Amino acid sequence: MKFVAFERTKQGTGASRRLRNAGKVPGIVYGGEGEPQLIELDHNALWQAIKKEAFHSSVLDMELAGKTSKVLLRDLQVHPFKQLVLHVDFQRVSAKQKIHVKIPLHFSGAEESSAVKLDKALVNHIINELEVSCLPADLPEAINIDLSKLEKGATMTLADIQLPKGVEAVLHGHDAADLVLLTVVMPAGEASAANEAAAAEGDAPAAAAPAAEDDKK
């Protein structure tokens, strides 16, 4: 995904306010071998870009002063109630250096699983994005997870899925089996009915026991 940035020479609160009044967004590019560089972007173009998932989770092509470089979106400051981007930060990336990025998890096929189709269970998503480490060329826009084989009562963890080639999960010392992605649960009404049925079946032998003793007498 590509976007255009422009060099910015002035900084400070007053300069940033004037930029925003002119329909621009102040920003900065840092990292890599170059020095931090002040930039500005067209607000309307940026506002449309941030609505796209790929802008947040993929390596971007930034055109600046006639040159194109690879960057990642690192920080985005948005006004609390106005449709206004206040500031944006990008990080340069190197083709030979691994990057850490949070990418979305795309789940599909749940409606075809026996858990949902036959048992009318609900899929409870625990996490919808995953922090990964990889080279820029291996970074996927998203990780696709097929749920068509889900069964009632199942718990899916990171250990149950296969990550794309060259991509590793950043677990911060935890085990993949401990990172729960989703659980399959019964709706509240269905669960209550099932519990009542189980309780009724459990009481039946106890009720029959005295009768058996009376027969012996």
- Please, which pLDDT band fits residue 207 given cuts at 50, 70 and 90? very low
Going from N- to C-terminal start, the domains of the chain cover: 2-92, 99-191
* Residue reference for tokens 């910015």: 8
**64-85 per-position pLDDT tens digit:** 999 999 999 999 999 999 999 9
Residue 72's nearest CA partner among 97, 47, 48 is: 97
Evaluate if residue 191 carries a pLDDT over 90.
no
Handedness of CA 126, 165, 53, 146 (dihedral sign): negative
CATH 2.40.240.10 applies to domain 2-92: yes
3-class secondary structure, 155 = strand
- According to CATH, the topology of domain 99-191 is RNA Polymerase Alpha Subunit; Chain A, domain 2 (2.170.120)
Q: How many CB atoms lie within 10 A of CB 92?
A: 18
- Please, which pLDDT band fits residue 209 given cuts at 50, 70 and 90? very low
The residue length of the chain stands at 217
Question: Do the domains 2-92 and 99-191 sit in the same CATH topology, yes or no?
Answer: no
pLDDT above 90 covers a percentage of the chain that reads: 77
The model scores a pTM over 0.85? no
